[in-house]
Amino acid sequence: MVTGSTRPVAVLVGPPGSGKTTVGLALARLLHADLHDTDAAVEAATGRTIPDIFIEDGEPAFRELERAEVARSLTGATGVLALGGGAVMDPATRVLLVGHTVVFLDVGIADASRRIGFDRSRPLLAVNPRATWVALMKKRRPVYEGVATYRVDTAGRTPDEIAREIAGLLTGGPA
């Protein structure tokens, strides 16, 4: 299904706990494609975890690294691309997403908390995680919806079920 194109077949966006990496892996398997996760790429390039970057350099430094990786990935990655949860909050990134197939993985707080446990590996959720997640979604939801080609509800579904739905959307029929 993936050709010699130098652009992703799908870009997954959504909040922490929506399953961007996990669903991305399942979707990549279905499409016989690779998964490129921008958070993992930033960690690999810097040799540090995202929480370490937040603590040592601050969020603005991380966002600059993220912005550069997203821009590079949108023109150089093939297959499935999973963006960090906050990547779409950058106006320049939103402009770069125009013309790409963007899938918003929508998730409620109950599923998100079960999936990620709101632990310290999520720097933006370190203090009062549930209230912070709700506030974050209130701010981000319109942006996720605004960049999305498709919105997929992940509530109570397995990564494979979600991936099959996305594959069907991408191919115009059931996967």
| pLDDT of the residue at 3 | 44
- State the residue for tokens 């998964």: 35
| CATH number for 133 | 3.40.50.300
- Classify residue 73: in a domain, yes or no: yes
Sheet containing 35-37: order of strands: 35-37, 80-82, 10-13, 102-106, 150-153
Reported confidence tier of residue 113, pLDDT bands at 50, 70, 90: low
**Mean pLDDT of the region 8-25:** 92
Range of the domain at 63: 10-171
Which spans in 32-158 are helix H? Answer: 38-46, 50-57, 59-76, 91-97, 109-116, 129-147
- Classify residue 130: in a domain, yes or no: yes
- Classify residue 5: in a domain, yes or no: no
- Classify residue 65: in a domain, yes or no: yes
- Total structural domains in the chain? 1
- Which one has a higher pLDDT value, 18 or 175? 18
| pLDDT of the residue at 134 | 77
Nearest to 153 by CA among 139, 136, 141: 141
- Classify residue 4: in a domain, yes or no: no
Please state the pTM of the whole predicted model: 0.86
